[in-house]
Amino acid sequence: MAGVRIRVRGQVQGVGFRPFIWQLARKLGVTGCVLNDPEGVLIEAFGPTDTLPDLIRAKAPPLARIDAIEVSPLTAEAPQDFTIAASQGTGAETRVTPDAATCPDCLREIRDPEDRRHGYAFANCTHCGPRFTILNALPYDRGQTTMAPFIMCPDCAAEYANPADRRFHAQPVACPACGPKLWIEPPHDAPLDEAAARLRHGEILAIKGLGGFHLACDARNEGAIALLRERKHRPAKPFALMGTLEMIRQHATPSEAEVALLQDPAAPIVLIRGTGGLPPNIAPDQNTLGWMLPYTPLHHLLLDAFGAPLVMTSGNLSGEPQVIGNDEAREKLAPFADAFLMHDRDIARRLDDSVERITPHGPMILRRARGRVPGTLPLPEGFADAPQTVAYGGQMKAAICLIKNGQALLGHHLGELDEALTWEAFQQADRDYADLFDHKPQVVAVDLHPDFRASRHGAARAEAEGLALEEVQHHHAHLAACMGENLWPLDGGKVAGIILDGTGLGADGTVWGGELLLGDYTGFERMAWLRPAPLIGGDMAAKEPWRNALARLDQAGLQAKADALFGDKPLGMARMAVERGLNAPLSSSAGRLFEAVAAALGICPDRQSYEGEAAMTLEALAQPTSAPPYSFARTGSEIDPAPLWQRIQDDLDRGTPLSTISIRFHAGLAQQFAQAAVQLVHSGQAQAIALSGGCFQSEVLLGLTLHYIGTQAPVLIHTKTPANDGGLALGQALVAAARHLG
């Protein structure tokens, strides 16, 4: 009998897709079968199948993401019924579903005293629950997850085997009779009640979540927050918060878009304006707080018991990856935590919480991790035949990217590779992704900097395995990442890239960071840049903002001002280092310029306690003004900030608010680069403008740059991947692939 074979590609495993097809087929009177295989979901259907592909796309399960539906004719003997067949094949051509926040149905069950899962901290179904954090290998079956040791009871087994049940083949399915157990240390018969009581007494709790441990305390208790800061040696970096939507609305006024993002299955931390009623030491000198909703049954039950928002920050030693093992937590978090809320379901891989925000220009990803990874991105037109490629990113905010089958898989945030345990986590992630996705690269892409650990790792792998190695300049990778995310075609023409970040090795061997590039995926030209200034003390310049202010003030001929501001610093030695060129390389870094302005305004001039502190504080100060942007000088290709320093001094002398000074600086920088980029479009050299680099994670700078570009050119911005180095590997992979396609 004639039938059809339907191939569905995308995020279609572990999301209830097969029972969805089974139920749909029964309604239509279709016979045949559906199964999982390495390429996704395969359907063989006989009978009234004309509407089946359209209905599949229109009514797919909540967590499904369909990339393609391919239909081909099939001639075979038609079966009498429609069945769900066993998974077939080995290897990985399909994507894995990210972890998903607790769905409304599971939430109702854990709160229903009559339900057998009442109060159970590990309830889940095909619409929610752990996925990537429990997965050891593909295909995604229970035996390949950390749920394998938990043998299903008869009730759970019946749900698991029933295609009409929303727990059909939900691999983490469990209940109090057969699943993971929760306890607290020191021991107590009622762990959740005891945890809530300890939180009320101002104690710090270590709580095992989906991708690792959190450290939690009462978000209303200034003393508890101070204690957590003291124990973690984290004096100022903002803490994330967890609360119900009602709790969040007591302290902030989230927009509809922010509420929608909070309620997304990914359940990211969302930066929301307003700090009303909560202690200022949650996020010193900031005007936003990072909120997330509870995303596991354990979190819901704990908040129900506690009744107020919690600080919820990563459980780790400073600079190290998040703790994921119970014994590891007891050893490493004991100096921080007064008690441990633990369970016995292992975490297969650590994933930090994703961090995002909503801007007037769309969503912004600051950290791509739990709930987003390992979701894939489609490649732009022209990359269909791209070779399998692996890219290793940079030294900071490390992330790995794989290209395969027209998709890019940008991996999770790993951290700074200088830290030994983060480097171990990077190496594990490299093996992990290669195994999980059956990835066999032909091309390896790395940053141009030869001393980056990721670059050395990639070069060593390429040599050992006989693979092609592509070195990609740092800011070219930022440009390509923004182009690729926006599906700019391979042959779409050149783009003007405003790339503003900390530092990256330039094609000329100097240190770049404030650039206007003209390029495509295969190459670029450097068209304009910030006038370079010395990084006094090399890497120390990124930690001590006064060094950058000294360099820029001296350049502007305002040595006396620098002497007055920083007289307690070793200025003579610093200036001698500049004069002799000793550990004071020149750099066009926009990030260091932000720190210089902040230091001149008295914002953490001595030392930043975390990366970006000065720039974030400067941004938080900025308020709209009728005053014009500060002026810069333009000499050839150099954009010189020297003129703004006297204007800042004049404003300070007049008693102008720091909020006005901050916005005038942001506006001046944005205007200069926007005008230069627009000129490239008007001249016909560029077809669009792309904005990338870590500085564009400033909502203020992004908004002002877009304002000055206006309608004069199409603009590409980051909305799905980080503008910072967390997106670097995507750009590297695209550049490397494009070179090999050419």
Residues with active-site annotation:
18, 36
Q: Which residue has the tokens 């006038």?
A: 531
Burial class (CB in 10 A: 0-12, 13-18, 19+), 568: exposed
Inter-residue long-range contacts of 566-572, CB under 8 Å, 24+ positions, other chains counted: 566/599, 566/605
- The backbone torsions φ and ψ at residue 737, rounded to the nearest 5 degrees and listed phi first, read -65, -40
- What amino acid occupies position 80? Q
CA-CA distances (angstroms) from residue 294 to 282, 286, 339, 471? Answer: 19, 23, 20, 42
Measured CA to CA, the distance from residue 384 to residue 376 in angstroms comes to 15
- What amino acid occupies position 677? A
Structure tokens at 122: 């590990």
DSSP reduced 3-state for 567: coil
Q: Are 509 and 587 in contact (CB under 8 A)?
A: no
Measured CA to CA, the distance from residue 707 to residue 458 in angstroms comes to 40
The DSSP code sequence of 85-111 is PPP---S--SPPPPPBPPPHHHHHHHT
The number of CA neighbours under 13 Å toward the Cβ of 718 is 35
Question: Among 282, 262, 164, which Cα is nearest to 221's?
Answer: 282
CA-CA distances (angstroms) from residue 514 to 480, 511, 559, 709? Answer: 16, 10, 24, 17
CA-CA-CA-CA torsion for 243, 248, 251, 254, nearest 10 degrees? Answer: 150
The number of CA neighbours under 13 Å toward the Cβ of 389 is 35
CA-CA distances (angstroms) from residue 696 to 90, 118, 473, 677? Answer: 42, 46, 19, 15
Measured CA to CA, the distance from residue 518 to residue 132 in angstroms comes to 39
Structure tokens at 548: 């950058």
Q: Are 6 and 21 in contact (CB under 8 A)?
A: no
Q: Are 202 and 217 in contact (CB under 8 A)?
A: yes
Q: Which residue has the tokens 């919820």?
A: 312
H or E element that contains 160: helix 154-161
Q: Are 545 and 535 in contact (CB under 8 A)?
A: no
CA-CA distances (angstroms) from residue 117 to 121, 131, 510, 696? Answer: 9, 20, 61, 46
Measured CA to CA, the distance from residue 136 to residue 436 in angstroms comes to 8
Measured CA to CA, the distance from residue 44 to residue 6 in angstroms comes to 6
CA-CA-CA-CA torsion for 391, 393, 398, 400, nearest 10 degrees? Answer: -10
Query: Residue 126 CB: number of other CB atoms within 10 A?
Result: 28
Q: How many residues does the chain have?
A: 742
